Structure 1
Amino acid sequence: MNNKKELKNILTPMQYKVTQEDGTEPPFENPLWDFFEDGLYVDIVSGEALFSSKDKFHSDCGWPSFMRTISEDAVTEKSDLTMGMRRTEVRSKQADSHLGHVFPDGPKPTGLRYCINSAAIRFIPKEEMEQEGYGKWLEKI
């Protein structure tokens, strides 16, 4: 695992702010909020698989939204009482990167909306998944 000093040299300032300082990027001003191609979304820090493009949907919130994680143990959830509201924070399991929040207002069948910062994830196109070592996830795309 990279330490904070190493991560500051590897990540962009926004990626660092979001993943390491629990920040939030501006809505509608990020590259993946309206991006819909087949592939896999992974943690920008650890590379762990998080979300499938099959579960991404357009939610009009300004951030990438998914109805479920790619596996049951992909993320951890924590209570978040900041910003004067009660929310559920979503963090990557391996790297403990702040990803975003999950809300109970998503589409069926899950009813969930994982609202994720683009700065916290990297998209891997379906046709590149095998060569990047993510072949085991192809059936989920």
Structure 2
Amino acid sequence: MPDSYTVRLSIPRNGGWRAWGAAAGQFEQRLAAQESPAVSAAGIESETRRGRDFVRVTVAVTVVAPDVAQALAAAWWTFRRAASDDTAGWDMSSATAEVRPAARLSRTLVSVLFPKLTRSPVRARFTLSRKISA
């Protein structure tokens, strides 16, 4: 049975704050348009600015998937679709991802009633990198 995961992708934006400001609205619209039965929510969680030339955008995607790897793949696909023809505007080789099970009331209730039967949530951290072929 598939579980629900929250995936946070953190990707540096090329071109700095001004370039991101010009592209942010359209990117956010395309990101929201990616919602489907497998992707229940997608949106910009935060924007971190360091100086004039650096912006890191964090995107949060809630995914229904059978495992962590497929949740990460679905979230990455969602981001890539939203970036569409603007992939050069992102430093994808420096992207990072964090995958966690989405919070569920039933797990909390079970942990209160049966504390020895529950496990702590799985936390995984991945670094996405581009493969360069010769």
Q: Could you state the TM-score of these two structures normalised by the residue count of structure 1?
A: 0.27
Higher-Rg structure is 2
Higher helix fraction: Structure 1 or Structure 2?
Answer: 2
Relative contact order, CA 8 A, sep 6+: which one is greater?
A: 2
